[in-house]
Amino acid sequence: MSRARESKVKILDHRLDVAPGRRDFPAYPDSNRFLSNLPGTTLLFPVVDLSHQYVNALMYLLTQPDGARPTLVDDRNF
């Protein structure tokens, strides 16, 4: 529990304002529409580093056989 307490980062001291009638997709998925961002509820926002998985996925794609390997295009340098 102490490790979890140490890793928390408080972002705001107040609840985000949501305009009336705007509690629909994409702001709120259907399963969370009635339970999130309401008095008495808590919003947990996990932050994770996915760079290792992203690099692994790129390496997997680039090792595919000829004809099945994607072409990567650098849209800034062509």
pLDDT, one tens digit per residue, over 5-64 is 888 888 888 877 777 777 777 777 777 677 777 777 776 777 888 899 999 999 998 899
Q: Is 4 exposed, middle or buried (0-12, 13-18, 19+ CB in 10 A)?
A: exposed
43-60 pLDDT tens trace: 677 788 889 999 999 999
Predicted TM-score (pTM) of this structure? 0.37
Rounded (5°) CA angle 37-2-4 = 40
- Measured CA to CA, the distance from residue 37 to residue 27 in angstroms comes to 11
> Alpha helix locations (H) across the chain?
2-7, 51-62
Q: Which amino acid belongs to residue 37?
A: N
Read off φ and ψ for residue 65, nearest 5 degrees.
-65, 160
